[in-house]
Structure 1
Amino acid sequence: MRRVSIIGSGGAGKSTLAKRIAERTGLPVVHLDARYWRAGWVETPADEWRGAVEAMIAEPAWVMDGNYGGTLDVRLAASDTVVFLDLPRVVCVWRIVSRAVRYRGRTRPDMAAGCNEQVTWEFVRWVWGYPRTRRPGVLRRLAALPPTTRVVVLRSQRAVDAWLATLTSGRR
C-alpha cells in the first residue's frame, strides 16, 4: 500500500483517516482541499488543477484525501488502494456542523490558509444529498477499477477503526 486515495462525502472523515493512515504507515499526506483552495475560498482553475493533481500522483507514495470529480479518474488510476468512506449522511452532516463550531473563524489544519471554516446551506444540502446524487457514480467507478486496485468500503466509524487496526504499524 503506497498510493492511497480516500473519497467520500463531506464530513465522512477523509482528512482524519488520511492522517491516521500516515501515522501508521509513514506515507506522506496530501490534503486536496489544502491544495485546491486559495485564500478567501478562491478555486484553482480547472486546467491548472488537473496539472497540479497529475504532478501530485506522479510521486511514488501518498495518502490523498478529497473528492474533486474532475480529477478522480487520474487519481483512482494511480492508486493501489482506494478507501470509500460510505458513512450515513446524518453522521456526515453532524460532523460538518460540529467541525464548523470547533473551527469557527479559524482555518482547520487540513485546509488552505485563509479559508476559515464555514458551513453553508448549499454544502449541507450537498452532504445530505450525497448518497442519492454522488454515491451511485462513485460505486460505478470503483466497480470499474482493475482487480489489482484494492477497494475498501467502510460504512461506519467502527469499520474505519477496525480496518486501521489491520494496517502495519510504524514507518516503512
Structure 2
Amino acid sequence: MQPVRRIVVAGASGSGKTTLAERIAAVTGSPHAEIDGLYWRAGWTASESFEDDVRALADRDAWVTEFQYRQVLPMLADRAQLLVWLRPSRPVVLWRVVRRTLRRRFRRELLWGVNVERPLWTFFTDRDPPYARPPHRFAARRNRHRGPSSGTRCAASA
C-alpha cells in the first residue's frame, strides 16, 4: 500500500480541522497548507488568486489542508487520498468557537499574517457573532464530495 500523501480534514468551524491537519502533517511529513491563509488577505478580503493557489496546492505530490470553501471542494476532493471528517457535538464546537474567538480578541492575534479579530468588547455586540452561527451541515457534503471513485479513503470521527 502506498503512503497517503494528500489529506483533507473536514468539519464545522471549531471542530478542530486545523489542529488535526497540523498534527497529521507533523506525523506524515507532508506540508500543511492552512486554507484560510490562502483565502484571506488584508482587511478580511478574499484573495483574487485563491482558486489558482488551491489548484497549485492540489497539484503537489503531498499536502494536508482543511476541506472548506465551496468553490474549491471538488478540486481538493479529486486529488485527496484521504478525507477525514470531524463531527464533534454541537456543545463541543460551540465551546471551541467561543474560546478561540475570545482568545484571539483578547490577545489581538495576527491571523494568516494579515488580520486580527474585532476588539474583545464587541464579542456580545457583534451583528453576526461566531457563537450564534449554526455548524455547517457536513453530512450532506460528505455525500457530495467523496472524491474520485479510484479509491479515495474516507475516515470519519464521531
2:102 aligned with 1:95, yes or no?
A: no
**Number of residue pairs aligned between Structure 1 and Structure 2:** 147
Deviation at 1:64, TM superposition (A): 0.8
2:77 aligned with 1:76, yes or no?
A: yes
DSSP 3-state at the match of 1:40: helix
DSSP 3-state at the match of 2:33: strand
Give the Cα–Cα distance (whole angstroms) in 1 for the partners of residues 146 and 22 of structure 2: 26
The TM-score, its normalising length taken from structure 2, stands at 0.82
Q: Structure 2: 5+ residue runs without aligned partners?
A: none
The equivalent residue for 2:108 is 106
Alignment CA distance shift 1:148-1:113 (3 Å): same
The equivalent residue for 1:10 is 13
Deviation at 1:129, TM superposition (A): 4.2
The equivalent residue for 2:140 is 137
DSSP 3-state at the match of 1:146: coil
Pick one of 40, 43, 53 that aligns with 2:43: 40
Instruction: Provide the aligned C-alpha RMSD in A.
Output: 2.0
Question: Which amino acid letter does the alignment assign opposite residue 106 of structure 1?
Answer: R
Alignment CA distance shift 1:144-1:80 (3 Å): closer
* Residues 37-57 of structure 1: CA deviation (Å, up to 9, x unaligned): 012211123xx3211110111
Deviation at 1:154, TM superposition (A): 1.0
The TM-score, its normalising length taken from structure 1, stands at 0.76
The equivalent residue for 1:153 is 156
Question: Which amino acid letter does the alignment assign opposite residue 74 of structure 2?
Answer: D
Alignment CA distance shift 1:96-1:112 (3 Å): same
Give the Cα–Cα distance (whole angstroms) in 1 for the partners of residues 50 and 26 of structure 2: 27
Give the Cα–Cα distance (whole angstroms) in 2 for the partners of residues 73 and 144 of structure 1: 8
For the Cα contact (< 8 Å) 1:142–1:151, is it kept in 2?
no
Alignment CA distance shift 1:53-1:38 (3 Å): same
The equivalent residue for 2:116 is 116
Deviation at 1:20, TM superposition (A): 0.8
Give the Cα–Cα distance (whole angstroms) in 1 for the partners of residues 39 and 93 of structure 2: 21
Question: Which amino acid letter does the alignment assign opposite residue 70 of structure 2?
Answer: G
Identical pairs, percent: 31
For the Cα contact (< 8 Å) 2:78–2:147, is it kept in 1?
no
